[in-house]
A and B are shown apart, each in its own frame.
Chain A
Amino acid sequence: MAKIFVDGRQYEVVAEDNLLHACLSQGLDIPYFCWHPALGSVGACRQCAVKQYRDANDEAGHLVMSCMTPATDGTRISIADEEAKQFRAGVIEWLMTNHPHDCPVCEEGGHCHLQDMTVMTGHASRRYRFTKRTHKNQYLGPFINHEMNRCIACYRCVRYYKDYAGGSDLDVYGAAHNVYFGRTADGVLENEFSGNLVEVCPTGVFTDKTHGEHYNRKWDMQYSPSICQGCSVGCNISPGERYGEIRRIENRYNGSVNHYFLCDRGRFGYGYVNRKDRPRQPLVRRDGSLVTVPAGEALARTTQLLKAARGIIGIGSPRASLESNFALRALVGPEHFHDGHANGEAALARRVLDILQTSPLPAATLRGIEGADVVLVLGEDVTNTAPRVALAVRQSAQGRTARMAAEKQLPDWLTEARTNVGQHEKHPVFIASVAVTRLDDVATHTMRAAPDDIARLGFAVAHALDATAPSVDGLDPAAMQLAERIAAALSAAKKPLIVSGTGAGSAAVLQAAANVGLALHACGQKAEHCFIVPEVNSLGLALLNVGQECCDLEAAFSAVERGAADTLVVLENDLYRRAERARVDALLAHVKLIVLDHQSHATAAKAEVVLPAGSFAESEGTVVSHEGRAQRYFKVFAPRYNDPHSVIRQSWEWLDDLRERTQLSAWRYFDRLTTAIAQALPALRKIVHAAPDAQFRASGLKVAREPHRYSGRTAMRANLSVQEPRQPQDPDTALAFSMEGHNGTQAGTRPSALIPYAWAPGWNSPQSWNKFQDEVGGHLQGGDPGTRLIEPAEDEVTARYHDAIPVPFVASAGVWQALPLAHIFGSEELSARAAPIAVLMPAAYVALHPADADLLEAGENSTLEVSLPGEKLLLPLRRRSDLPRGTVGLAVGVPGSPWFAAGAPVKLGKGSST
């Protein structure tokens, strides 16, 4: 710590910080542009000038840039100094010489950092009377709009996109007052994290195109603290709604998880909430077709089905909340509850849970990943299965330059010094994967192999670290050498990290990764691990089923086949994405099917009853991230307010009603249900701490979902009725569907899990998260949202080395091993239903090593006949030399791609060539 003096007042600050960071952390306001907590200081914009004094006797002082000046003990500065104030206003005036006067029609208006800083400096009228320079804009793809005339050349976009996110297709061109930030030519931005440009840009150069298509000012939207449903990372998001539509998703700061950044799937994949083809009223099958009925009738019909059933099976969903899954489990009985993963995936998710629960290693937070200094990625293509993790791994690689700069006594925040000293040096990252990954560019070494061989490498690394770990027989010398190299790097590391997951569909890969962790622990290394699981609540489902027999879909299928059940309740799940088409067809032909979902899909089309469920935007719920962090999301809006015909209810509410009708017992309130879970299942007992309950009040108030400047409330429903109804009530949470309530202007603070949107007085842009953090860029005040359910056992280690080491993969003639190839855009069910995501989604394909393709005489542009168990189809061929011989890559989950089990035998035949 250091004592500094700001305008005569003394402050205790972190000595390692720069003055800007230190002052902002003290709640003081200094305007800035080029500095960003995640991007460091570069001294370009000159906006954060303050006056520094040599000592108490120095009265003249001199201007310094606070972002470039260390907060050393005894520093004396003035923010209020007249010359400094004039200079700061002058900087804005310079920026305004070219900035257009288009705030009223600019999409950034109202959440614009440039507006905020302009007001903060007091600059109000321009003296510049000459013409402005103008630029041409570019098409950057379906996500981001480009309006270069607004550019103030803070260089944040390229520093984020190139230096932070590793993108290569956005750069700065030109010089002088004609610098241009864009691509060499129009085209879709390639980086998977491009959406963060929208928030990184302090003004309206890069704006959210999906938002622009149904635009609202920030203050005119309703928000909730929510959790991204796109993968198992559980990034915190702040969705904005108006007229019953989600209009945009912004990052919600969580200092342990996503902090300032989201992936493009998470940010732009919300369109499924707004789809016109969603079930919004209950449907009941009559004379062979589904017809709309009132809720009471649908419930009565469902109750009738349940009461008449000769055995009921409930199939839950890893994309539904713990509460909804538990409600279904209670309705059908734990022994009849199936977790809704595909067969293999349920077992893999369980295995991950087992590793997390028994390993002495803690599961890494995203922050933890960023701080690792050696990373082994075993079998997981994180960019496509848990994208935000990839961005974190990239930071760990780039952490090397910070360490090199530190060796030269240069501070961490002096970003440029890091690159000047460290150049292109990286911390070691070893990636073993089935195919190329988008992280390969930061990898020290990549190995591409079939999952079994990846597992063998992992086992060999563990053995190289600890001789008591089982050894791998017959490992080829190159793999052995690599294993030793990886082991050497891991054991030399200060913070080694193992990243793996269910993406390769291989239990052996998971076990190998677990062994590496155990071996590192045995060596006394303080390692962490990170296991990616398939979906947003996969780990939650595994926790829900702790102590139960493995109840995957196969068990459900056989129960029906045995005649043990004839009625199926499916919660937020499309079974055709979980098993072979023929099997699902056969299953559904023999059961009475009740579906609760917020999407129309092939399974729902076969139902007797479809109950329209709330999506994440119309529900509250708890989900457990890959890290074991239970996080709560809240309704963004009440669907009936704007659409009186809507009968959308949360799944748990439907199920609670059904439970009351069949078992004469109900929870009625969300908190009661959550508490029931915590009481029933010890592994989940801490979920009640994920967020404050419905009784919580901030300074006596509920938390307002709407900003206090929310406008048009009395008019927005005038097309329905001129009488303004009472605002929807929310008895289940501490949030209100209203602008009344705690919104940040009153005394007291909202707990971190209940902050719906980023706003603080004077700070309208996402930069206002400054005002919610214990230290800028650190954790949220009062701790980051969520509660970790799994911590490593502190006493004796119960985990033992796995020794089921697979034999080497051998290509067999005529049969290929199916490899699941995930795609950030397309593989995830819900986001794939959003129009802008669909634009970037690949069409279904089959990928083969060129040598294997040659065996089939299949050249470029040919089509192959793909025979999977129970399915045969024609798919276009992609010749990919990165795939191991003897394997066939199939896109996971994209439209037209069949469901298949990872590792399934695939036969290929000549289709056609064009």
Chain B
Amino acid sequence: MTADTKPLTHRVDLATPLDIRGYESQEGYAAVRKALKKMQPSEVTHLVKEANLRGRGGAGFPTGVKWSLVPMGESAPRQKYVICNADEMEPGTFKDRLLMEGAPHQLVEAMIVSGYAIQASRGYVFLRGEYVLAAERLERAIAEARAAGYLGANVLGSPWSFDLFVHSGAGRYLPGEETALINSLEGRRARPRAKPPFPQIAGLWGKPTVVNNVETLCNVPHIVLRGSEWFRGLSQGKSKDSGTKLYGVSGRVRRPGLWELPFGVTAREILEDHAGGMTEGLKLKCWLPGGASTDFLLPAHLDLAMDFDTIAKAGSRMGTGLLTVVDDSRSIISVVRNLEEFFARESCGWCTPCRDGLPWSVRLLAALERGQGQPGDIELLEQLCRFLGPGRTFCAHAPGAVEPLQSAIKYFRHEFEAGVPKPATRAVAQRTTAAQAVA
């Protein structure tokens, strides 16, 4: 494992993560030194843009572009914030945890360099509440970094001051959305904000703010040290995406886990080479490419490269890049009902389609699962999928929630139809008799 090929994970040690000494001895904080001593903030942003780093939280938005919208220079507000979205709540996703528990200093360094790029005054790590160990390790790393002069007033003697804090979330899914995260950090209800204004203009406390995912940020020091060319060259094959990606597999496979692999690796390689294929006796029925809020794909899609564009073309989203596999012993309705229960519960309750539409889908799925569906239920679910789509709801929660549902109906309609009992012929005959009697 080397810094060149596995930049994100080569220093990860879950048992005893590197302390600041150990981390510094392995190029740790070299990116901070390089950025602060040799680069203008705008050069860092430019480099990240050149590297074509895209958000690893699931949406794939170009990080450099996001940063370049932050007001810079003398006229810009003095307070600006960089926030790490570490509220890893997507079902089937457990990659950020590895980075934070195994290499906390890497994230601290990443936030300092990113903070420098936008000239932030403060950084916050918005951490999933259950990640207690990550909180401890990050707190320790921050304390060490502060003692070493990487944080606080005049970082490394430069005119720039920056400090970093960990904030534990209260255990809801929605702060994964960046504006809901900002609301939560401000002590408000964790529901998304209307845009505009975008966080880069008026985010936390009304000040310019960028929110980036843990994995996204952790790439930044490496880009600063090794350059954009190197970063773009990491991906394999024809993938347009740059760098490596933490891919993982959960479900009934031989070796569920997480691996740092070049962008563009195929799903089959991940599933078969790294996860060891399906558990003995089971066959792959379908898979979610990157979290619960992505469309199902079929075994036929396994040879697709796991990058943003390729997966999008297949009708799904790469999302977080952590595969959830469904084996052929499962009823798809049961799987989807379980997912929709999660999404319905995690709706913030702000907009009508999401708040009232998702619970309806759960009730319908539960009825179909019990074989108590009624004619029209499938069409109703399809209508819900349409009406809960992008643009109809306040944020992306409901559109994400219906992705597995709409694809499940698309690929496994027969299972849904089986949930609607055929009207018994005798019952019809009886009704007819009664009607005739009345007549």
Can you list the 8 inter-chain pairs with the closest CB atoms, starting with the nearest? A94-B356, A179-B349, A130-B363, A421-B202, A176-B347, A423-B206, A416-B194, A177-B359
Q: For the complex, give the distance between the alpha carbons of A422 and B172 in Å.
A: 26
Query: What A residues does B154 contact at CB under 8 A?
Result: none
Query: What A residues does B352 contact at CB under 8 A?
Result: 44-47, 91, 94-95, 152-153
The yes or no answer to A104 lying at the interface (CB within 8 A) is no
Taking a contact as CB atoms under 8 Å apart, the answer to whether B347 and A128 are in contact is: no
Taking a contact as CB atoms under 8 Å apart, the answer to whether A176 and B392 are in contact is: no
Beyond A128-B360, A420-B206, 18 extra complex contacts between A and B, CB < 8 Å: A43-B394, A44-B350, A44-B394, A46-B394, A90-B387, A91-B352, A94-B356, A129-B374, A155-B350, A175-B348, A176-B348, A176-B359, A404-B206, A416-B193, A416-B194, A417-B194, A417-B197, A420-B193
Q: For the complex, give the distance between the alpha carbons of A97 and B355 in Å.
A: 11
Q: Which residue of B lies closest to A133 (CB)?
A: B359
Query: What B residues does A129 contact at CB under 8 A?
Result: 374
Query: What B residues does A127 contact at CB under 8 A?
Result: 376, 380
Residues on B facing A (Cβ under 8 Å): 172, 189, 193-194, 196-197, 201-202, 205-206, 344-353, 355-360, 363, 367, 374, 376, 380, 383, 387, 391-394
Expressed in whole angstroms, the minimum distance between the Cβ of B192 and any Cβ of chain A is: 10
Expressed in whole angstroms, the minimum distance between the Cβ of A133 and any Cβ of chain B is: 8
Once A42-B194, A68-B194, A130-B363 are accepted as A-B contacts, the answer to whether A87 and B387 lie under 8 Å apart by CB is yes
The yes or no answer to A8 lying at the interface (CB within 8 A) is no
Query: What B residues does A97 contact at CB under 8 A?
Result: 356, 359-360
Contact with B along A395-427 (1 / 0, CB 8 A): 000000000110010100010110011110000
Q: For the complex, give the distance between the alpha carbons of A87 and B201 in Å.
A: 33
Query: What B residues does A152 contact at CB under 8 A?
Result: 352
Query: What A residues does B359 contact at CB under 8 A?
Result: 97, 176-177
Query: What B residues does A128 contact at CB under 8 A?
Result: 360, 363
10 contacts between A and B (CB under 8 A): A43-B194, A45-B352, A46-B351, A90-B353, A97-B356, A98-B356, A127-B380, A178-B349, A417-B202, A421-B206
Expressed in whole angstroms, the minimum distance between the Cβ of B178 and any Cβ of chain A is: 13
Query: What A residues does B351 contact at CB under 8 A?
Result: 43-46
Q: Which of A46, A87, A90, A408 contacts B197 (CB 8 A)?
A: A408
Query: What A residues does B349 contact at CB under 8 A?
Result: 153, 172, 174-179
The yes or no answer to A348 lying at the interface (CB within 8 A) is no
Q: How many residues of A contact B (CB 8 A)?
A: 43
Q: Which of A63, A94, A414, A423 contacts B205 (CB 8 A)?
A: A423
Taking a contact as CB atoms under 8 Å apart, the answer to whether A408 and B360 are in contact is: no
| Most chain A beta carbons < 10 A, residue from B194, B202, B376 | B194
Query: What A residues does B353 contact at CB under 8 A?
Result: 46, 90-91, 94
Query: What A residues does B202 contact at CB under 8 A?
Result: 408, 417, 420-421
Taking a contact as CB atoms under 8 Å apart, the answer to whether B194 and A175 are in contact is: no
Q: For the complex, give the distance between the alpha carbons of A128 and B362 in Å.
A: 12
Q: For the complex, give the distance between the alpha carbons of A152 and B349 in Å.
A: 11
Within 8 A of B (CB), among A164-179: 172, 174-179
Taking a contact as CB atoms under 8 Å apart, the answer to whether B393 and A46 are in contact is: yes
Determine chain B's interface SS by DSSP, over half rule: helix
Q: For the complex, give the distance between the alpha carbons of A44 and B355 in Å.
A: 10
Once A63-B392, A408-B197, A420-B193 are accepted as A-B contacts, the answer to whether A176 and B360 lie under 8 Å apart by CB is no
Query: What B residues does A130 contact at CB under 8 A?
Result: 360, 363, 367
Query: What B residues does A423 contact at CB under 8 A?
Result: 205-206
Once A129-B374, A410-B196, A420-B197 are accepted as A-B contacts, the answer to whether A87 and B346 lie under 8 Å apart by CB is no
The yes or no answer to A49 lying at the interface (CB within 8 A) is yes
The yes or no answer to A64 lying at the interface (CB within 8 A) is yes
Taking a contact as CB atoms under 8 Å apart, the answer to whether B344 and A176 are in contact is: yes
Q: For the complex, give the distance between the alpha carbons of A87 and B389 in Å.
A: 11
Q: Which residue of A lies closest to B395 (CB)?
A: A43
Query: What B residues does A91 contact at CB under 8 A?
Result: 352-353
Taking a contact as CB atoms under 8 Å apart, the answer to whether A64 and B205 are in contact is: no
Expressed in whole angstroms, the minimum distance between the Cβ of A319 and any Cβ of chain B is: 45
Taking a contact as CB atoms under 8 Å apart, the answer to whether A64 and B356 are in contact is: no
Query: What A residues does B344 contact at CB under 8 A?
Result: 176-177
Query: What A residues does B383 contact at CB under 8 A?
Result: 90
Taking a contact as CB atoms under 8 Å apart, the answer to whether A94 and B350 are in contact is: no
The yes or no answer to A62 lying at the interface (CB within 8 A) is yes
Taking a contact as CB atoms under 8 Å apart, the answer to whether B197 and A63 are in contact is: no
Q: Which of B206, B345, B380 contacts A176 (CB 8 A)?
A: B345
Once A175-B349, A176-B348, A408-B202 are accepted as A-B contacts, the answer to whether A153 and B355 lie under 8 Å apart by CB is yes
Query: What A residues does B350 contact at CB under 8 A?
Result: 44, 155
Q: For the complex, give the distance between the alpha carbons of A410 and B344 in Å.
A: 32
Query: What A residues does B206 contact at CB under 8 A?
Result: 404, 420-423
Once A49-B392, A175-B348, A176-B347 are accepted as A-B contacts, the answer to whether A421 and B197 lie under 8 Å apart by CB is yes
Query: What A residues does B194 contact at CB under 8 A?
Result: 42-43, 68, 414, 416-417
Once A43-B351, A130-B363, A175-B172 are accepted as A-B contacts, the answer to whether A408 and B345 lie under 8 Å apart by CB is no
Taking a contact as CB atoms under 8 Å apart, the answer to whether B201 and A408 are in contact is: yes
Expressed in whole angstroms, the minimum distance between the Cβ of B4 and any Cβ of chain A is: 43
Q: Which residue of A lies closest to B359 (CB)?
A: A177
Q: For the complex, give the distance between the alpha carbons of A68 and B391 in Å.
A: 11
| Most chain A beta carbons < 10 A, residue from B172, B346, B351 | B351
Q: Which residue of B lies closest to A409 (CB)?
A: B196
Q: For the complex, give the distance between the alpha carbons of A122 and B189 in Å.
A: 34
Q: For the complex, give the distance between the alpha carbons of A46 and B357 in Å.
A: 12
Expressed in whole angstroms, the minimum distance between the Cβ of A900 and any Cβ of chain B is: 46
Q: Which residue of B lies closest to A130 (CB)?
A: B363
Query: What B residues does A98 contact at CB under 8 A?
Result: 356
Expressed in whole angstroms, the minimum distance between the Cβ of B382 and any Cβ of chain A is: 12
Q: Which residue of B lies closest to A128 (CB)?
A: B360
Q: For the complex, give the distance between the alpha carbons of A479 and B367 in Å.
A: 73
Query: What B residues does A417 contact at CB under 8 A?
Result: 194, 196-197, 202
Q: For the complex, give the distance between the alpha carbons of A178 and B349 in Å.
A: 7
Once A94-B356, A417-B196 are accepted as A-B contacts, the answer to whether A87 and B392 lie under 8 Å apart by CB is yes
Q: Which residue of B lies closest to A405 (CB)?
A: B197
